[in-house]
Structure 1
Amino acid sequence: MKKRWSILSAVLCVALLTGGCGTGSKNDAGTGKEQTFSHETREGNEHQSNLDVLQPSAYGNVQGLNLEKGSSISIIGRGSSSAYWKAVQEGAKQAVADINTNLGYKGNDKVKLVYSAPETENDVDDQVNILDEELARYPVAVGIAAVDSGACEVQFDLAAENGIPIVAFDSGTDYQNIVSMIDTDNTTAAATAASKLCNSIGESGQILVIAHDSKSTSSEEREQGFVQEVEKNDPNVTVAEIWHLDDLDAISKEINADSSEKNSQETADNVQKAEEENADSRDTQTAQQDAIKYLLEKYPDVKGIFATNETVADLVVNVLDSMDKTTGEDRIKVVSFDGGEDQMKLLEDGKIDGLIVQNPYGIGYATVVACARAVLGQGNEATVSTGYTWVTKDNMNKDSIKKMLY
């Protein structure tokens, strides 16, 4: 059963992000400048700095968003349990609370927000079913972080027929009539991660890219941005292989073909088990870790790994721990997206070398603003950039960085 929260209006104060100061990578080529967060606030909103970095700036406030009383906005994420998705929810809830405060709506007159997400993160079928159910409620607008960029076309057509605008956030879609895309500049951020990782391994050697899926635009953009930066500016670094967490079937076949050793056969059995119809999430996680271990055995000279989100980073570090490759001479460097408390602990322990910290609070807030603008016919920017910054063990204890956690 999917997890769902219906929020009539609530102002929940959880310290997420404030400022950090950062610049681009070692050579700026292909990476641009990071959008960073000032820790100054205004008007009593401790998260105002998260909104100040939104570009265009109009998406950081609710002025002029005079929605009708009782309007309902549906926000559909790819998950709900991780720190990242919780921060997205907080930003969205704050935007709705600000709209209600600004318009003086109370009780049943309040604008409503429904946040929904698959029970298992990145479950395509569950997300499609959720979208069907939400459209049946006739919300005034829908914001969605698409698990599969090619899915939901029928549902989006139905929404268009009923005058329900669709805003994409975090992960885009191939559908042509999306009114706006709210996200991190994944390509530029991933290029920053590539530059930093290549620097940390001495600008030579093999690295692996482990991506969270093969279907979402966020995963694709991060993968491409990382690889393009390496190819352009680090000719002595080789991306040995790119593997996606949902490619278990393909790697299972590869492991089976190379199963002359007992350990390889055991790994193949675990991976194949996760492909069975009734495999649970623990089976899948074990199989994913076995697959990562297989890749590290396949490429024994790997010096670094790029993980495209916190789920991947956790899996990678678990595997490296089991192989005694998080410390000492055999240590493999790791950089990742996301900046929850677990990731910061790994950073502090020296098991992760750097993090691309996004602005999920700003993403949630701007998504609601874009939905409201679309409903009111105010027009939207095709893309709204929400910023990111680079965090390491050297700067993680700065006050401005601590307030960025989500």
Structure 2
Amino acid sequence: MCKKWKLSAIVLSTALLFCSCAVQSNDGEERETTVNKTEEKVDKEKIRLDALNPTAYGNVEGLNLEPGTYFSLLGKAASGDYWDNVQEGAQQAVDDINEALGYKGDDKVRMVYSGPSENGNVDEQVNILDEELARYPAAVAISIIDSQSCDVQFDLAAENGIPVVTFDSGSNYQNIMARISTNNTAAAEEAAVHMAEALENKGEVMVFVHDSRSITAKEREEAFVNKIKNDYPEMEVKNIYYLEDLDSLKQTMADEINGGTYAKAGEEARVNEDPETQVQAADITDDELMDYIFAKNPDVKGIYGTSGNAVMTAAEQSARLEKDVKIVGFDATEEEVQALQDGSIYGLVAQNPYGMGYAAIVASARSILDMGNEAEIDSGYVWVDADNIQEGEIAAMLY
């Protein structure tokens, strides 16, 4: 079973450091550290790797890979704070393997990270997976955008002896060797507890979900909604919006405008049956759509987002409309952290993309070597809010 990890104290006292510092790794390279307000130094990499459960996925011991072994790592996007951290963790695992085995030059184990140029583009991710399989990597690790999209490719991988592991967002495909992810149920339930705390256990909540296709999104939505429903009788999840459906919602808005049941700001509601002058969905801006959503939820006191995109959509639009709502959700990118510090966001579930990337390489290597894998690997998370964000061990998990 996945368990919420507890941060262990990895603190070294120092009297001289006052801002940020670095520690030397065994190979002489500087590794990033974080210094908190009490002038204590913490090793970011160690904290992130110690968060992994089982802990065996935070080191490369016993991974005696053949020279030139090639891993393929596929994310949901080519770049971005979150995915850059995944790539960084995976590359560190590869570097650690090469150091442990003494591989240099052409003998080095290699990893190539790739992802869609547009975050969440299913077709592009499938095409990239096809291309990677044609290169016959030793193993593939993938964060699946659509849980139903890659089964054909996974069959092909199995036929060619290429093991597949998933990270961040998985699939129910039977032959996945290991699944590395946040315990989304526990994390979403914790977000619900903090939302209730922020609203004093009463009021309406609106939910923005990053998609309707990934297992990750479904778990985060269902756990949050069920926690509110079961434990907070004076709270209600009023409406749920999927980011991918917002454009189609513009058609509903256009129909209501033309039917006289809704009017844009500064306009009067009136029936318009003239096809030549009717409002078209394509004419509605994103800001106007958000006006419509908030108008449909006038009593909402809180917004929950299942991803960084969903959280920032809520924060930016709430600020634009000067809505006093409490926002909680997932991820801890630089933009989200700034919004939290500004008071626009109440709190965040910071995942561990660095640890996911590292564990993805370890799990892939174990699959290649027939060492066996745990079916589920918990990458860990922490709750971040204004009260704890300055703590070194919390700050180490931000990205």
- Both proteins in one fold, TM over 0.5: yes
Aligned partner of 2:169 in structure 1 is 171
Contact 2:47-2:393 at 8 Å conserved across structures: no
Give unmatched runs, 5+ long, in structure 1.
1-30, 275-285, 326-330
Superposed CA deviations along residues 170-195 of structure 1, whole A, max 9, x for unmatched, are 00113111111000001110000011
Partner residue of 1:94 out of 92, 95, 98: 92
Cα–Cα, structure 1 residues 36 and 80, in superposed 2: closer, same or farther, change >3 Å?
A: farther
Residues 1:48 and 2:19 aligned together = no
Match of 1:383 in 2: 376
Could you tell me how far 1:33 is from its partner in structure 2? 4.8
Aligned AA (1:263):
K
**What are the equivalent positions in structure 2 for 1:185-334 lying under 5 Å apart?**
185-259=183-257, 260=260, 261-263=262-264, 272=282, 287=286, 290-325=288-323, 331-334=324-327
Amino acid at match of 2:126: V
Question: In 2, Cα distance between the equivalents of 1:145 and 1:122?
Answer: 10
> 1:290, 1:334 → 2: CA distance?
21
Correspondence for 2:28:
none
Which residue of structure 1 aligns with residue 338 of structure 2? 345
8 Å contact 1:258–1:264 — kept in the other structure?
no
Supply the distance in 1 between the matched residues of 2:118 and 2:147 (Cα, whole angstroms): 18
1:359 maps to 352
Partners of 1:306 and 1:355 lie apart in 2 by 10
TM-score by length of 1: 0.83
Deviation per residue, 1:229-265 (Å, 9 max, x gap): 1111111110001111111354233213321344189
Deviation at 1:202, TM superposition (A): 1.5
Would you say how many aligned residue pairs link Structure 1 and Structure 2? 358
Instruction: State the alpha-carbon separation in 1 of the partners of residues 127 and 75 from structure 2.
Output: 13
Q: 1:398 aligns with which of 388, 391, 397?
A: 391
Deviation at 1:40, TM superposition (A): 4.2
Give the 3 Å change call, closer, same or farther, for CA 250–353 of structure 1 in structure 2.
same
Matching residue of 2:363: 370
Structure 1 residues 35, 219: CA separation in 2 closer, same or farther (over 3 Å shift)? farther
When residues 75 and 271 of structure 1 are mapped into structure 2, their CA distance, relative to the original with a 3 A threshold, is: farther
Shift of 1:350: 0.4
Letter in 2 for 1:48: K
CA contact (8 A) 1:34 1:189 kept: no
Q: Percent identity?
A: 45
Give CA-to-partner distance per residue, 1:325-368, whole Å, 9 cap, x none: 2xxxxx11000111121111101110000010111110000000
Report the 3-state secondary structure (helix = DSSP H, G, I; strand = E; otherwise coil) of the residue aligned with 2:170: coil
* Worse-matched range after superposition: 247-256 or 309-318: 247-256
Contact 2:79 2:115 in 1 (8 A): no
Instruction: Give 1:138 deviation, angstroms.
Output: 0.2
SS of residue paired to 2:377? strand
CA deviation map 1:206-232 (0-9, x unaligned):
101101111111111100110111111
Distance 1:254 1:147 in 2: 27
- Asked whether the equivalents of residues 54 and 378 of structure 2 are also in contact (C-alpha less than 8 Å), the reply is yes
**Residue aligned with 1:240, SS:** strand
In structure 2, relative to structure 1, the CA distance for the partners of 1:204 and 1:78 (3 Å cut) is same
The residue that corresponds to 2:18 in the other structure is none
Matched-pair contact (CA < 8 Å) for 2:4–2:183: no
Q: Residue 343 and residue 249 in structure 1: after superposition, are their counterparts in 2 closer, same or farther (change >3 A)?
A: closer
Runs of 4+ residues over 6 Å off in structure 1 = none
